């Protein structure tokens, strides 16, 4: 074999490895881009008594919107907090599932709930914690819990976070999770209208998050059926393309396919993002009211400790390492 052929084969092998490792892995969330946007825009729903504090910390609230995802690879219990496979419990579970934790545990056991997701109950736990942090004016935890609460609320509004078939793996539609909540928002969210009005007080936040899950779950049929219809119409050869990002070439859903699917859903992704933004603002505002409406202006000059920054860095490194391992393992 001559030198030219050896070089050519080596290059092709290298390119193949790059492509395989770079194919997007199983998505688990709205995607970093959308989570950051949701948290950031939720700040502008807040009343004047709150908005100064949150706007001062807007970079933190934006960047830390994805901390919960980074913890998935460092904290064993984290994954179950991002979803609920409501269809595991039967066809009528959406309406019969106990809305409160103790009742749900009594019916199904805590192990079962943890196995199939606990997002609605975890949102409620964080709501209590954020209220307490505001009541005692614990600035560090106000910011940390606000960012995390925004993340979980946004996840609860994603239809694919409410089903066992979360990534189309049961219907030969593998990858639909990343398509719906990451690819489409990256391509088309600049076309969305994000004015959602002022945050309002929630008289029963626990039922509010369940209403969000119910509405999201009822959209699932369209999420799957429309993807299949667009695939059949355009054909598999137009479904994917390759894009260069930085120094990597990755396989993605093509712009043509993505736009056709996006259009077929008639604004579903935009509606769910808008709903997420409004609900995040509503929860933050409700926590503040329930905490006695503390003066947040007094807390504006807060800076995180070196220990807190080191902990966040450790979580980020764990996420990066685990993500790489998953890519190599799955592909």
Q: Domain-by-domain residue ranges, the chain?
A: 25-330
Q: How far is the CA of 308 from the CAs of 227, 257, 305, 314, 315, in angstroms? A: 43, 43, 5, 10, 11
Query: Is residue 34 a contact partner of residue 182, using CB atoms and an 8 Å limit?
Result: yes
pLDDT at position 317 over 60: yes
Identify the residue whose tokens are 């194919």.
Answer: 23
pTM to 2 decimal places = 0.84
pLDDT at 209: 98
For residue 116, what pLDDT band results from cuts at 50, 70 and 90? very high
Within 10 A of 13 (CB to CB), how many other CB atoms are there? 10
For residue 248, what pLDDT band results from cuts at 50, 70 and 90? confident
Rounded to the nearest 10°, the torsion over CA 82, 88, 94, 99 is -60
21-25, 74-78, 184-188: segment of lowest average pLDDT: 21-25
The DSSP-derived string for 60-81 is: HHHHGGGHHHHHTTT-TTSGGG
pLDDT at position 29 over 90: no
pLDDT at 187: 96
pLDDT at 324: 47
Q: CA 200, CA 107: separation in Å to the nearest integer? A: 33
pLDDT at 243: 87
pLDDT at position 276 over 60: yes
How would you classify the pairing of strands 240-245 and 248-253?
antiparallel
* Two structure tokens written together for 128: 């209590």
Architecture of domain 25-330: Orthogonal Bundle (1.10)
- Does residue 229 or residue 7 have the better pLDDT? 229
pLDDT at 74: 85
Give the residue-averaged pLDDT of 97-124. 97
pLDDT at 322: 53
pLDDT at position 78 over 80: yes
pLDDT at 104: 97
pLDDT at 26: 35
Per cent of the chain over pLDDT 70 is: 83
What are the backbone angles phi and psi of residue 245, rounded to the nearest 5°? -130, 115
Give the residue-averaged pLDDT of 16-34. 49
Contacts of 152 (CB under 8 A, 6+ apart): 68, 81, 82, 119, 122, 123, 126
The mean pLDDT value of the chain amounts to 87
Q: CA 41, CA 195: separation in Å to the nearest integer? A: 9
Contacts of 246 (CB under 8 A, 6+ apart): none
């Amino acid at each position: 074999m001559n030198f030219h052929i050896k070089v050519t084969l080596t290059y092709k092998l290298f390119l193949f490895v790059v492509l395989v490792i770079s194919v997007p892995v199983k998505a688990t969330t709205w995607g970093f881009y959308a989570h950051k946007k949701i948290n950031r825009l939720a700040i502008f729903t807040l009343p004047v008594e709150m908005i100064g504090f949150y706007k001062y910390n807007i970079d933190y609230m934006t960047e830390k919107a994805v901390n919960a995802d980074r913890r998935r690879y460092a904290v064993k219990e984290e994954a179950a907090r991002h979803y609920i496979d409501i269809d595991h419990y039967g066809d009528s579970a959406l309406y019969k599932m106990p809305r409160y934790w103790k009742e749900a545990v009594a019916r199904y056991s805590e192990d079962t709930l943890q196995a199939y997701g606990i997002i609605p109950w975890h949102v409620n736990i964080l709501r209590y914690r954020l209220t307490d942090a505001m009541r005692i004016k614990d600035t560090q935890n106000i910011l940390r819990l606000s960012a995390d609460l925004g993340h979980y609320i946004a996840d609860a509004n994603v239809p694919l976070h409410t089903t066992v078939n979360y990534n189309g793996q049961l219907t030969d539609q593998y990858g639909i999770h990343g398509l719906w909540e990451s690819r489409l928002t990256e391509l088309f969210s600049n076309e969305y209208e994000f004015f959602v009005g002022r945050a309002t007080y929630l008289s029963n936040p626990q039922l509010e998050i369940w209403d969000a899950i119910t509405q999201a779950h009822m959209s699932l049929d369209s999420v799957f059926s429309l993807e299949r219809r667009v695939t059949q119409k355009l054909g598999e050869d137009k479904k994917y393309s390759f894009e260069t990002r930085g120094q990597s070439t990755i396989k993605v859903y093509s712009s043509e396919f993505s736009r056709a699917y996006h259009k077929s859903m008639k604004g579903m992704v935009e509606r769910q993002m808008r709903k997420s933004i409004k609900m995040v603002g509503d929860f933050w505002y409700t926590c503040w009211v329930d905490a006695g409406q503390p003066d947040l202006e007094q807390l504006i000059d807060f800076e995180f400790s070196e220990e807190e920054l080191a902990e966040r860095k450790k979580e980020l490194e764990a996420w990066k390492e685990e993500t790489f391992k998953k890519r190599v393992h799955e592909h």
